[in-house]
Amino acid sequence: MKYIEYTPCLELGTYIHSFWELKGEGSDHQWERIFPDGCPGIVLNLGDTCKTDSGASSMDYGKTYIVGAMNTFKDTFIDRNTRLLGVCFKPAMFSSFFNYASQHELTNQTVEFGTRYAFDMGKLHQSPAPYLNSFFLDRRKTIHPLLQSVLKDIHGCNGDVNIFEVARRNYITVRQLERHFKAHIGLSPKEYAKIIRFQSALTMMNANHPRKLSAIAFDCGFYDQSHLTNEIKKYTGYTPAQL
């Protein structure tokens, strides 16, 4: 399997994490597991039909799909004829390009995009990154300033935050904040913060000089090592030793 990430142009850096391309190779015939990161995405299938959502959904050639934010893992089947292009949006940024359903309706889902949002498959085959840069530059809309402030607070503490305190600092009630999160991110503020904390712990575990789980649990704000282990199982389906 060959996986490449492309950095979006500078003007899109606030909106989009990356463009990516995945191509299957001769020996590929396996399920690949994806962990939640709080980000929605778009996937364009330029290869054979591809099973995803742990086999519950399929992505057909020439079609475009929305992938909602996840609060659990999912598996996608990769073989030698797989070719996928993707866009990984930053949290709450999908609605800066598309008028679509509430993100809460898309959580953990892979949904076919309507033809009104069609991409030019010919240009995607030839030069995906330049075409995607141009496509999204033409569609940019206003950023949600309140959510950006809240997200900055959550990421600044690597997810180890009190949502009531975050709401207070941003002059909004928790109930209002939950409505904004579900509409634009697809997760509750609490669930989103837990995913960011999990990702922070995962980064520490995958570092060149990994530390003891108990130390990582302490630094990331988990109650203890057992709490961290349970969160890892929830979001990956694996124990720490299996990662």
Give the three-class secondary structure for 21: strand
What's the pTM value of the predicted model, to 2 decimals?
0.95
Here the tokens at position 173 are: 């009630």
- 168, 129 in Cβ contact below 8 A? no
What structural domains does the chain harbor?
2-137 (2.60.120.10), 145-242 (1.10.10.60)
The tens digit of pLDDT for each residue in 222-243 reads 999 999 999 999 999 999 999 9
- Asked if 39 contacts 87 with a C-beta cutoff of 8 angstroms, the reply is no
Alpha helices in 80-210, H assignment, sequence order: 121-126, 128-137, 145-156, 163-169, 174-184, 189-205
The residue among 173, 202, 230, 167 whose CA lies nearest residue 38 is: 202
Question: With pLDDT > 70 as the criterion, what percentage of the chain qualifies?
Answer: 100
77 SS3 class: strand
Q: Look at residue 102 in the predicted model and tell me its pLDDT.
A: 92
Cα–Cα distance, 109 to 95 (Å, whole number): 17
Q: 88-144, pLDDT tens digit by residue?
A: 999 999 999 998 889 999 999 999 997 777 799 889 989 999 999 999 999 998 888
Give 137's contacts (C-beta < 8 A, 6+ positions apart): 9, 11, 12
| 2 phi, psi to nearest 5 deg | -115, 125
